[in-house]
């Protein structure tokens, strides 16, 4: 099979951290041929077919993990599988790329499905399951956000809807004199939506990333924050700690998993703090390498198995 990975620049990928790297390595182990490109290399040509400029890519183990070979150009329909692995933010350019991927012929499998990438917005999708989430408000009204904080007892967390890696996340308390300024910056003076959620104190114990393949949980890692940080993301210094799935985790996955499958999401990462679902990540979720090291497993095998099954199944 031929696989095209749409990724951030390959030289910047981290061989011991990035999930895209283990996907490419596993595909290569199975004898598949790989190529890589960026979103800037995509276009739509005559006939309404999405095209790309790509580079044939060879991968191996170790830190010197890749070699770029011959350049190519053509329709994405020449590949068996196209992986959309561009990191967030989910901005208008990302949105437009999902429409370009909709033009790829059905004989090519796109992972995750473009419709799913559009519909399963990472901060908002969870609100379809309010019983699983901390009390939440989506608003760009500063007075409304302040009133929500008062209703919660003076404490909440706010996040930008298009943020990633913990960027723009604030823990706001009743004693914080900067709240008005933070909300002005976050909402851009009332012109941009934020999601506010009740603060879950169990975040000090860790933010659990659960990996789902075809909607089923296959592994988890606890991301514990630095003692001076609110955020537990690896990107900002969170530490990976071995984790197991609790009955509540399994309940959350059982509720959200079928919806992810319906939207064509092969691989996802959901975040759980305490007993509450806080995000569903489908654009470029990470965490596999940390789980592999802690659990002595190879979760990428399960993902490639699922991709190969989907490719073999009838599509129209």
| Catalytic hit among 85, 86, 207, 281 | 281
| Catalytic hit among 223, 233, 249, 300 | 223
Q: What is the pLDDT of residues 44-58, one digit of tens each?
A: 988 999 999 999 999
Cα torsion angle, 60, 61, 64, 65, sign: positive
pLDDT of 88 = 82
Our answer to whether residue 33 is catalytic in this structure is: no
Our answer to whether residue 86 is catalytic in this structure is: no
Our answer to whether residue 87 is catalytic in this structure is: no
Tell me yes or no: is domain 202-298 CATH 2.60.40.3880: no
* Answer CATH for 136-198 from 3.30.1490.20, 3.40.50.800, 3.40.50.11540, 3.40.50.720: 3.30.1490.20
Q: What is the pLDDT of residues 242-294, one digit of tens each?
A: 999 999 999 999 999 999 999 999 999 999 999 999 999 999 899 999 999 99
| Catalytic hit among 26, 159, 208, 233 | 159
The pTM assigned to this predicted structure is 0.92
Mean pLDDT of 117-123: 90
Our answer to whether residue 231 is catalytic in this structure is: yes
Q: Has residue 229 got a pLDDT over 70?
A: no
| Catalytic hit among 25, 123, 149, 208 | 123
Q: For the chain, give the percent of residues with pLDDT over 70.
A: 95
Mean pLDDT of 281-309: 96
Tokens of residue 220, six digits: 């988890």
Q: Has residue 228 got a pLDDT over 60?
A: no
Mean pLDDT of 13-34: 97
Our answer to whether residue 207 is catalytic in this structure is: no
| Catalytic hit among 26, 214, 271, 300 | 271
Q: What is the pLDDT of residues 131-190, one digit of tens each?
A: 999 999 999 999 999 999 999 999 999 999 887 767 889 999 998 889 999 999 999 999
Our answer to whether residue 208 is catalytic in this structure is: no
pLDDT of 249 = 98
Q: How many Cβ atoms are within 10 Å of 297's Cβ, its own excluded?
A: 14
Fold classification of 2-111 (topology level): Rossmann fold (3.40.50)
pLDDT of 239 = 87
Q: Domain spans of the chain?
A: 2-111, 136-198, 202-298
Phi, psi of 44 (to 5 degrees): -120, 125
User: 281 burial class (0-12, 13-18, 19+ CB within 10 angstroms)?
Assistant: buried
61-70, 152-161, 163-172, 192-201: which range is least confident on average?
163-172
| Catalytic hit among 149, 231, 233, 290 | 231
Higher pLDDT pick, 226 / 196: 196
| Catalytic hit among 214, 249, 279, 300 | 279
Our answer to whether residue 80 is catalytic in this structure is: no
- The span from the CA of 129 to the CA of 194, in Å, is 18
On average, the pLDDT of the chain sits at 93
Residue 157: partners with Cβ closer than 8 Å, 6 or more residues away: 169, 170, 171, 172, 196, 197, 198, 199, 230
Our answer to whether residue 233 is catalytic in this structure is: no
Q: Has residue 69 got a pLDDT over 70?
A: yes
């Amino acid at each position: 099979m031929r696989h095209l990975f749409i990724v951030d620049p390959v030289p910047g990928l981290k061989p011991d951290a990035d999930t895209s790297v283990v996907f490419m390595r596993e595909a290569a182990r199975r004898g598949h041929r790989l190529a890589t490109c960026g979103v800037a290399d995509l276009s739509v040509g005559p006939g309404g077919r999405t095209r790309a400029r790509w580079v044939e890519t060879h991968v191996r183990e170790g830190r010197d993990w890749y070699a770029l070979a011959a350049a190519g150009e053509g329709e994405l329909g020449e590949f068996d599988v196209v992986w959309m692995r561009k990191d967030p933010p989910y901005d208008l350019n990302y949105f437009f790329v999902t429409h370009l991927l909709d033009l790829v012929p059905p004989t090519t499998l796109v992972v995750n499905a473009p419709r799913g990438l559009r519909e399963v917005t990472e901060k908002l999708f969870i609100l379809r399951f309010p019983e699983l989430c901390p009390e939440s408000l989506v608003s760009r009204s500063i007075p409304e956000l302040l009133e929500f904080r008062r209703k919660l007892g003076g404490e909440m967390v706010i996040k930008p809807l298009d943020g990633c890696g913990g960027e723009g996340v604030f823990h706001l308390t009743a004693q914080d004199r900067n709240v008005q300024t933070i909300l002005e910056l976050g909402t851009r003076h009332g012109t941009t939506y934020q999601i506010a959620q009740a603060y879950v104190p169990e975040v000090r114990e860790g933010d659990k990333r659960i990996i789902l393949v075809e909607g089923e949980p296959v592994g988890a890692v606890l991301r514990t924050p630095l003692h001076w940080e609110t955020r537990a993301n690896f990107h900002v210094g969170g530490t990976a700690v071995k984790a197991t799935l609790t009955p509540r985790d399994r309940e959350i996955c059982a509720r959200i998993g079928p919806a992810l499958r319906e939207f064509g999401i092969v691989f996802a990462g959901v975040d759980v703090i305490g007993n509450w679902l806080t995000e569903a990540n489908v654009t470029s979720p990470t965490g596999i390498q940390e789980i592999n090291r802690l659990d002595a497993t190879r979760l990428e095998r399960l993902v490639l198995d699922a991709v190969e099954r989907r490719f073999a199944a009838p599509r129209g």
